[in-house]
Structure 1
Amino acid sequence: MRRPRPSEESRARAARITQALADLLPDEPPPDRPSEATSTGRRAARGGDCPGCGEPLVATAARHGVEFDTCGACGGIWLDAGELEALTSGLDPSPGAGARNEAELRARVPAPASRESDVRYRECPRCREVMNRRNFGTISGVIVDECRHHGLFLDAGELEEVEAFLRAGGRAVGESARARAAARSMPPPPPQLETPRTGREEVVAETAVDLLWNLLFR
């Protein structure tokens, strides 16, 4: 599979995203994983190339033990398994403050713009297996590339879209939509079968008819 080569415009955009993350997050190593400086002063990559463009992923910043592996060419972000959940665990609104349904959610958070003209299945930078495409939160419209064993990849700008979706109450609305879809996919209950009358019931019924006939016509 041929990977697209980054343009000068994409490199400049990626540099701005990387700098914004560095300014936002304190540049400190995660617990039990000291940083390794390279000859250029950047941290060494934890391994693997960017699923988006093929350039090396580089560890750039950490917050609460969550370390970002970013691509300096396209601005994509790799998060190991469980790191996105840890990073977004406190973004849900207080009870009653979030959107109550999908229409209200869309009014607060417009659907993300499509970034791809065709569907592309990407490889995990850790195991090189083809990743699954998943709609984050069922209805967010943010399509993330996920390896069930190692983590997920976000294109440039998708982390901000995920955060906006969660702040608007998207997690609860998405869970309700998933529950409704599961209910619709369940097969209908089998029809109730009429229980045949037993021989004793038939005898009793016939006896009652004979008794009534004798009283009326004999």
Structure 2
Amino acid sequence: MTCPSCGAPRPPRGVVCAYCGTRLDLDLRGWAHLQAGGVSTDLQCPDCGTSLEVLQLGPAGTISLGRCPDCMGLFLPLGSLELLLDQAVGRVWNVDHSLLQTLADSPRRSAAPVRYRPCPRCGELMNRRLQGQRSGVVVDQCRDHGLWLDAGELRQLLEWARAGGVLLDQERQAQQTRERQVDAPATWGSPAEGSGEEMDLSTWLIRLLRQLF
């Protein structure tokens, strides 16, 4: 494949052309079946104060979100980001660690000063959190209404998911669940007899100490 801007060979696992600096999009499915739905007076951009445009995405407008016409930021209702990632990327079977690292090193949006923003719907300050391991995207989220993405961050998350970011998150969560099960405190008292599970004295003492300290 070549760069659509200058025609230079595309670097393996690269997302930026080494010759002209053009951002190279990953191969995503045709997800943006976009329909405009007017302006919502109930949603205001947390940066510009402008009323957000309502956009309908997906077949039959199954996903509704708000977009600022000035800064192009996006407000996504709770649960809609997961639907977008699924529709745009589909099933991913492997984690491309090299591509994930390249994406993290080449974010679509430059770093900005940390600030807490009001929710576009209720006006309460939103919390900041990293959206997925190694995504490079910190979102502002209202626990009741949705999350805010700056311009370019949705595309960054789509590329992250295409490189296996969602799968990486699932693997991490499964590993954390296994670790919690291993570290779960034992019941008070000596090891139960007749349980079908043998526990040596040292293991039982370690678990007892974990409960005490």
Alignment TM class, shorter chain as reference: 0.5 to 0.7
3-state SS of 2:71 partner: coil
Task: Report sequence identity in percent.
Answer: 34
Secondary structure of the residue aligned to 1:85 is helix
Structure 1: give runs of 5+ residues left out of the alignment.
Answer: 1-23, 30-42, 195-218
TM-score normalised over the length of structure 2? 0.60
Q: Which moved more, 1:140-149 or 1:175-184?
A: 175-184
Offset at residue 184 of structure 1 (A) = 6.5
Shift of 1:93: 5.5
| 2:74 and 2:150 in contact (8 A); partners too | yes
Query: Could you tell me which residue of structure 2 aligns to residue 172 of structure 1?
Result: 167
Q: How does 1:7-46 map to 2 (within 5 A)?
A: 24-27=32-35, 43-46=38-41
Given the alignment of the two structures, is residue 106 of structure 1 paired with residue 100 of structure 2, yes or no? yes
Corresponding residue for 1:50? Answer: 45
2:72 matches 1:78: no
User: For residue 147 of structure 1, what is the aligned residue in structure 2?
Assistant: 142
Q: CA deviation at 1:117?
A: 3.8
Matches within 5 A, 1:123-162: 123-162=118-157
Instruction: Report the secondary structure of 1:87's partner residue.
Output: helix
Q: CA 1:121–1:182 in 2, change beyond 3 Å: closer, same or farther?
A: farther
Task: Give the structure with the higher percent helix.
Answer: 1
Select the residue among 114, 127, 136 that pairs with 1:119: 114
| Partners of 1:182 and 1:116 in 2: CA distance | 33
Paired residues, number:
155
Which structure is higher in strand share?
2
Q: Which has the larger radius of gyration?
A: 1
Q: TM-score normalised to the size of structure 1?
A: 0.58
Q: Which ranges of structure 2 fall in alignment gaps of 5 or more residues?
A: 1-31, 187-202, 207-213
